């Protein structure tokens, strides 16, 4: 089965994030957003909730130390069920999905909003683009389960650690990849929300964070996001077993 045809009935995603960071802060965004930008945002995120923000800037010279306090706004918009959020600040444009169905929804919305935003604010240069998927595979069983039923054994080597295994409070790994034109950070394991207490819950994290550092044109965002998603999907399929695929299709 090709990756393009895979579509599960459910998922364990707790957060999906797409983000653009700007090369330099734009202080205009502390005061207002252009109507053309809010108009396209409101199509997908109809609940506006602007919030006051306070930034502190420390300037050190040979003669003096000066601290400046800047007040402004952060622009928050939510989906109609608060299932997703977009945040615009002087330094970034961020979209977060708490409920996620398919990549095409995020892809189309993020592209439409970012294209209008970067066209309207021509002085802003995108300097980083990222796409992140955080899965929390969580089961309600009281006893600790055998993760080899659901997770590829190559990710479970340290779970075979025999010394004081019952005293473990966290088992978490970090792997980073360089794919020439972007990087990917893969974090996985038992993070343990009760840390530093002993592990009580059956929860396994698969966290994939793909990103490009450097100036990026609006026209290139589409292709880069697609690359990120395809690689993340490939790694996710590598990370799981048929046992978990059955649960994803229940």
- Read out DSSP for the chain? --GGG---S---EEEEEEEEEESS--GGGGT---HHHHHHHHHH--EE--EEEEEEEEEE-SS-EEEEEEEEEEEEEE-TTSSEEEEEETTEEEEEESS---HHHHHHHHHHHHHHHHHH-TT--EEEEEEEEEEEEEE--SSPP-GGGTB-GGG-GGGG--TTGGG---EEEEEEEE-SS-EEEEEEEE--TTTTSPP-SEEEEEEEEEEEEEEE-HHHHHHHHHHHHHHHHHHHHHHB-HHHHHHHT-
Residue 82 lies in a domain: yes
The rounded distance, in Å, linking the Cα atoms of 217 and 46 is 27
The whole-model pTM stands at: 0.91
pLDDT score for 16: 98
pLDDT digits (tens, 9 = 90+) for 146-164: 899 999 999 998 777 766 7
Say what percent of the chain tops pLDDT 70: 90
Q: Which domain holds residue 222?
A: 10-56+65-248
pLDDT digits (tens, 9 = 90+) for 26-56: 999 999 999 999 999 999 999 999 999 776 6
pLDDT interval class at 69 (50, 70, 90): low
pLDDT interval class at 7 (50, 70, 90): confident
Statement: residue 1 has pLDDT above 60 = no
Tokens of 110: 């993020």
Residue 233 lies in a domain: yes
pLDDT score for 53: 79
Domains of the chain: total: 1
pLDDT digits (tens, 9 = 90+) for 190-220: 998 889 888 888 999 999 999 999 999 999 9
Statement: residue 63 has pLDDT above 80 = no
Residue 1 lies in a domain: no
pLDDT score for 4: 64
**Phi, psi (5° rounding) for residue 135?**
-100, 130
The rounded distance, in Å, linking the Cα atoms of 5 and 173 is 30
Residue 5 lies in a domain: no
CB atoms under 10 Å from CB of 155, counted, come to 20
Q: What is the CATH number of the domain that holds 36?
A: 3.30.310
Residue 235 lies in a domain: yes
Specify the higher pLDDT residue, 142 or 131: 131
pLDDT score for 173: 94
Residue 106 lies in a domain: yes
pLDDT digits (tens, 9 = 90+) for 84-123: 999 999 999 999 999 999 999 999 999 999 999 999 999 9
Give the residue carrying structure tokens 């010279």: 61
pLDDT score for 170: 86
């Amino acid at each position: 089965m090709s990756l393009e045809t895979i579509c599960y009935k459910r998922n364990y995603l707790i957060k999906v994030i797409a983000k653009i960071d700007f090369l330099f802060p734009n202080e205009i965004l502390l005061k207002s957003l252009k109507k053309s930008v809010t108009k396209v945002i409101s199509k997908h995120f109809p609940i506006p909730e602007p919030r006051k923000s306070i930034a502190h800037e420390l300037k050190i010279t040979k003669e003096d130390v000066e601290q400046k306090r800047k007040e402004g706004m952060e622009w928050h918009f939510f989906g109609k069920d608060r299932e997703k959020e977009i945040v615009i600040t002087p330094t970034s444009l961020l979209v977060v999905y708490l409920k996620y169905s398919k990549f095409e929804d995020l892809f189309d919305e993020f592209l439409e909003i970012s294209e209008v935003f970067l066209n309207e604010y021509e002085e802003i240069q995108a300097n980083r683009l990222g796409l992140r998927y955080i899965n929390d595979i969580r089961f309600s069983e009281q006893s600790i389960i055998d993760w080899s039923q659901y997770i590829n054994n190559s990710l479970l080597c340290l779970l075979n650690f025999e010394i004081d295994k019952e005293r473990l409070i966290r088992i978490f790994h970090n792997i980073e990849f360089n794919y020439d034109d972007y990087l990917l950070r893969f974090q996985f394991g038992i993070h343990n929300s009760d840390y530093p207490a002993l592990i009580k819950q059956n929860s396994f994290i698969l966290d994939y964070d793909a990103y490009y550092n450097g100036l990026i044109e609006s026209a290139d965002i589409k292709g880069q996001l697609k690359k990120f998603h395809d690689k993340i999907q490939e790694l996710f399929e590598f990370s799981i077993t048929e046992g978990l695929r059955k649960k994803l299709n229940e």
